[in-house]
Amino acid sequence: MVVLDAEVSEAGGKARVKVILPGRTEEFEYESGFLVLPVRGREREAERLLEDLGIEPEKTRKRLFGEEREFFRIRCGPGEIRKTRDRVKGFEKARSGGPVEGEYEHDIPAKKLFFMDTGFWRRGVPKAAAFDIETHEGKVIAISIYSEGSGAAFVMGRDGDTEEDLVLKFFEALKREGPDVLVGYNSDSFDLPVLKRLSERVGGPKINLSGGHARIEGTVHVDVYRFVSAILAPHLKTESLDLGSVAGELLGMEKGDCEKALEAWFSGNRDALADYCLNDSKLAFELFRFLFPQMAELSGLVRQPLFDVTRMTYSQLVEWFLARKTREYGEVVPNQPKYEEIQKRKGAPSYTGGFVKEPEPGLHERIAVVDFRSMYPSIIATYNISPDTENCGCCEGYEVPELGYRFCKRKRGFVSSVVRELIEERERIKKGMKAVPEGSDEWKRLDAEQKSVKTVANAVYGYFAFPGSRWYCYRCAESAAAFGRSLVKSVIREAEKLGFGVLYADTDSCFLKYGSRDRVREFVENINSRLPGSIRLELQGFYPRGIFIPKEGGGAAKKRYALLSEDGGILIRGFETVRRDWCPLAKKVQRKVIEIVLTEGRPEKAAEYVKSVVAGIKSGSYGLEEFVLHEQLTKEIEEYSVSSPHVSAALKLLKAGKKVYPGDTIRYFITRGKGPVSSRAVPVGFPGVPDGEYYVKKQIVPAALRVLRVFGITEEDLIPKKGLGDYL
C-alpha cells in the first residue's frame, strides 16, 4: 500500500489535491476547512455571528477529550483558512467576551486533512532509482545512479568532464530512467542541497529545500537515512548509522573504501572512484528495497504519503495515526500546543520509569527469561489509560498503584480504544502469518504489516509524555509506568514464593534461575490465568549460561549482560561491541572474551587471550583498520566549543582543503606523540602510526575488563609487567 506524495492547489474556493502514485497521478476536489467551538449555551449567538461575518456554518456534533459538544464546520479553500480563522478568533470569549470558545483543526495542512477525511489509499510498488555524490574541496567529483540491476557513474576528469558535465549527465540519466522514487542516503542534508546549487547553474530540475526536507521536480525523493535514524536505530546493533554500517548489518553488503577511491582518483584512476560511488548508490537502493515493505505499511497505517512518513519520528507516527482515527471515532483533533505550553511541559519533573532489580554480578547458569508481551500498549488498553478517562467521577475506576489516580471502567477512552484496536489487529496478522509458509511473499508482507502496527502501538506510551504532542497526558505516561512496575514486582514475588531465584528484572522482563523447564512453563501459565485484559507474560527462552557485569560503585549495570542460547548463539546487551567510540579491535576482543567465558566458563583463558592481543599490538601484528575510530559531526565545526578527537580530525581535513558537513562521519585514529589525545587524532589517509599504548590502556584492556573485572582480574594481570614504554 503506498501513496508517494501529494500536491495541493486551490481553485474556486476548494482544494485541488493531486495524489502521486506509482506510475500515475489522481486528482480530487476537496473541501477543506476547520471547526469552531461555541461557548456552551451561546451556540445560537455564535451561529448568528458567523453568518454576519459572511460565513456559512454547518452544525456537527463531535467529542473533544471525551466530551461531546456542538461544533460549527467552516468550509473554505486552503489559502483562506488562516484569514477566516483570524476573523473568528477575535470573538473568542477569552479575548473579547464573545460566544466562541475556540477553533480546531485549522493548523492541519490541507494535504494531511485530505487523507484523514477521505481515507484514500491505493496499492502499488514504485519504480525506484538511487543516487550518490562524492565531493572534494567543495566540488562534485562523482555522481551515480542505480536502479534494478544497472547503473551509471560519472566522474570528473573522465572524458574531460567538468562538474557541470557530471550533473547534466546525471539529470539526463534520471530523466531516461523516470523513477517514481529517487532514493538517497542522508540526501536531505547533503546530496540534494549540493545538487540544488548546480541544478540552478545548469538549468536542471527544481530542488526545493524546506523544513529539512528536500524535494526534486519530477520524482518523489526518499532519504533512507531519515527512516533508519528515526525508526530503526533503536533496534540495530550498530550505533553508527553511516551507510556502510547499516548496509552491513541489514544486508550483509560492504561499502568500499572512500580514502582508497579518492587516492586512485588523485592518481588518475577515474574508474575506481566511479565504482565506489556506484556501489554507494546500489547500497542505498538495496536498503530501500529491503525497508520498503515496512515503510509502505506504516504509510498505509497512518494514511499519510511515503515522502512524509519516511521522515516522521515515533511521536509523529502516533499523532497522525490518532488524527486519522478521529474520523472513525467522531473525535476532534486537539490543537498543537503553543511554545509557552511546550516549555511548561518540558519543565515537568521526571516520573519514575520501569522497575529494575539489580542482579548479583558474575556468571550464572540455567537462566529462563520471561517478559510481558507489548507491556505498555497492553496496560494502556487494559486499564483504559487515556486523556479523556482520568478521574471520570462516574465510577470507582482502575486505581493506579502508588499514585492513586483512577481511570474510568465504564466509558472507553479514545486513545486506549485505538491502542486496543492495534493490539487486536496485530494478533490477527500474526495468526495469518502462521497460516502461510514462512518466508513466502505473503508471510513477508504480513510481517511488515505487524511490525508497523507494533511500532505505532509501542510508541503511544512515550507519546503521552512528549511535550509537543496534541494528546499530551503526563499522568497517562506516569500511570502506565506505575502499572508496569507493579506487574513486574508481582511476577518477582510469585517467582520467589515458588523457589525460583530471580536473577534480574528490568522494565518488562525477569531473569529466573531455574531447575525444571516444566516448572517455568507452569509458572507462566499460572501468572497468565490471573492477568487482566490483554496483558500476558511470555517465555522468551532458556539460556544455559549468562554473565552480568557490575557498575562502578557496586551492583550490576542496567542492561549490561550477555546470554548463551541453547543453539550456541550469544545475545549481548549494553557492551562496547555495539558502540561506535571503540575501535574494531576493542570490539573484537570484548566479543571474544564474552564467547570464551560463556561457552567454556574459563575467565582465565579469556585473560590469556587478551594478553596475546596486547603482545600482538606491541609487535605490530594488526593493520591500521583495527584502530580506526569514527564519530559523526552533529553540527557545524565552528559550533563546537571543545575540540574532541573527531572534531580535531575534522579540522585537519578542513586545513587540507577537504570539506566536512554536519552529518559526516569522521574516521580517524590516535597517533604516537606528545600532547592531548585530541591533538593526536588524525583522519584516515593522513600520515601517522597508531599509538599502541593509547589503544592498549584506553581501548583494548578497558573493553576486556568490562567482563573480566567481575572475576577479580585487573589491568595489571593483562598488561606485561615491563609496562608499555617501548610502544612510543
Q: Which H, E and C letters describe 553-591, residue by residue?
A: CCCEEEEEEEEECCCCCEEEECCHHHCCCCCHHHHHHHH
pLDDT, one tens digit per residue, over 423-465 is: 999 999 999 999 999 999 999 999 999 999 999 999 999 999 9
- Report the alpha-carbon distance of residue 614 to residue 726 in Å, rounded: 13
Residue 610 pLDDT > 50 = yes
- Report the alpha-carbon distance of residue 221 to residue 225 in Å, rounded: 12
Q: What is the mean pLDDT of residues 405-415?
A: 95
Tell me the three cell numbers of residue 572: 549481548
Q: Which residues contact 161 (CB under 8 A, 6 or more apart)?
A: 154, 155, 169
Cβ–Cβ < 8 Å for 14, 32: yes
Q: How far is CA 516 from CA 295, 498, 513, 521, 589, in A?
A: 43, 12, 10, 9, 35
Residue 482 pLDDT > 70 = yes
pLDDT at 239: 65
Residue 728 pLDDT > 50 = no
Q: How many CA atoms lie within 13 A of 411 on its CB side?
A: 17
- Return the minimum-mean-pLDDT range out of 296-310, 331-345, 675-689: 675-689
Cβ–Cβ < 8 Å for 589, 544: no
- Report the alpha-carbon distance of residue 558 to residue 548 in Å, rounded: 9
Which of 521, 557, 527, 556 lies closest to 541 in space, CA to CA? Answer: 521
pLDDT, one tens digit per residue, over 326-366 is: 999 999 999 999 999 999 999 999 999 999 988 878 899 99
Q: Are strands 501-506 and 356-357 parallel, antiparallel or unpaired?
A: antiparallel
CATH numeric code, 337-563: 3.90.1600.10
Mapping DSSP to helix (H, G, I), strand (E, B) and coil, where does residue 442 land? helix
**Domain at 577-727, CATH homologous superfamily:** B family DNA polymerase, thumb domain (1.10.132.60)
- Report the alpha-carbon distance of residue 169 to residue 175 in Å, rounded: 10
Question: Which class for 4: exposed (0-12), middle (13-18), buried (19 or more C-beta within 10 A)?
Answer: buried
pLDDT interval class at 554 (50, 70, 90): low
The 8-class DSSP code of residue 464 comes to H
Tell me the three cell numbers of residue 169: 549527465
Tell me the three cell numbers of residue 83: 484569514
Which of 448, 417, 443 lies closest to 431 in space, CA to CA? Answer: 443
Q: What is the mean pLDDT of residues 127-137?
A: 92
Kindly provide the b/e burial profile for residues 689-723, where b requires at least 16 CB atoms within 10 angstroms of the residue's own CB. Answer: ebbbbbbbbbbbbbbbbbbbbbbebeeebbbeeee
| 3-class secondary structure per residue, 676-688 | CCHHHEEECCCCC
Cβ–Cβ < 8 Å for 594, 547: yes
**Residue with more model confidence, 498 or 211:** 498
Q: What is the mean pLDDT of residues 162-186?
A: 95
pLDDT at 550: 67
Computed from CA positions of residues 477, 479, 484, 489, in that sequence, does the dihedral angle turn out positive or negative?
positive
**Domain at 5-118, CATH homologous superfamily:** DNA Polymerase, chain B, domain 1 (3.30.342.10)
Q: What is the mean pLDDT of residues 602-626?
A: 93
What spatial distance separates the first Cα and last Cα of the chain, rounded to whole Å?
61
Q: What is the mean pLDDT of residues 146-166?
A: 91
For the CA atoms of 222, 226, 227, 232, the dihedral, rounded to the nearest 10 degrees, stands at 150
Backbone angles phi, psi at 65, to 5 degrees: 50, 45
pLDDT interval class at 263 (50, 70, 90): confident
Q: How many CA atoms lie within 13 A of 374 on its CB side?
A: 25
Which of 101, 105, 110, 117 lies closest to 335 in space, CA to CA? Answer: 105
Q: Do 128-309 and 337-563 share a fold?
A: no
Q: What is the mean pLDDT of residues 172-176?
A: 96
Report field, pTM of the whole predicted structure over 0.75: yes
Mapping DSSP to helix (H, G, I), strand (E, B) and coil, where does residue 447 land? helix
Name the β-bridge partners of 529: none
Name the β-bridge partners of 670: 681
Name the β-bridge partners of 153: 144
The 8-class DSSP code of residue 305 comes to -
Alpha helices by DSSP H, listed for 269-413, are 270-302, 306-309, 314-329, 339-346, 375-382
Helix (H) or strand (E) holding 73: strand 67-75
Cβ–Cβ < 8 Å for 646, 601: no
- Return the minimum-mean-pLDDT range out of 44-48, 135-139, 612-616: 135-139
- Return the minimum-mean-pLDDT range out of 40-44, 477-481, 650-654: 650-654
Strand order in the sheet with 356-357: 356-357, 501-506, 509-513, 362-372, 537-550, 556-564, 570-573
Which of 15, 75, 82, 32 lies closest to 50 in space, CA to CA? Answer: 75
Radius of gyration of the chain (CA): 29
pLDDT > 90: what percent of the chain? 77
pLDDT interval class at 251 (50, 70, 90): very high
What is the number of residues in the chain?
Answer: 728
Task: Name the residue type at position 709.
Answer: R
Q: What is the mean pLDDT of residues 671-682?
A: 91
Taking the domains of the chain in order of start, what are their residue ranges? 5-118, 128-309, 337-563, 577-727
Tell me the three cell numbers of residue 81: 483558512
Q: Which residues contact 203 (CB under 8 A, 6 or more apart)?
A: none
For the CA atoms of 651, 657, 661, 663, the dihedral, rounded to the nearest 10 degrees, stands at -70
Mapping DSSP to helix (H, G, I), strand (E, B) and coil, where does residue 386 land? coil
Mapping DSSP to helix (H, G, I), strand (E, B) and coil, where does residue 365 land? strand
Other CB atoms within a 10 A radius of the CB of residue 623 amount to 10
Tell me the three cell numbers of residue 573: 546487551
pLDDT > 70: what percent of the chain? 96
Name the β-bridge partners of 192: none
- Report the alpha-carbon distance of residue 692 to residue 323 in Å, rounded: 57
- Report the alpha-carbon distance of residue 634 to residue 550 in Å, rounded: 32
Q: Are strands 100-104 and 139-147 parallel, antiparallel or unpaired?
A: unpaired
In the numeric block, the cell 561491541 is attached to 577
pLDDT, one tens digit per residue, over 625-665 is: 899 998 878 788 888 887 889 999 999 988 887 777 776 77
Computed from CA positions of residues 173, 179, 185, 188, in that sequence, does the dihedral angle turn out positive or negative?
positive
**Domain at 128-309, CATH homologous superfamily:** Ribonuclease H-like superfamily/Ribonuclease H (3.30.420.10)
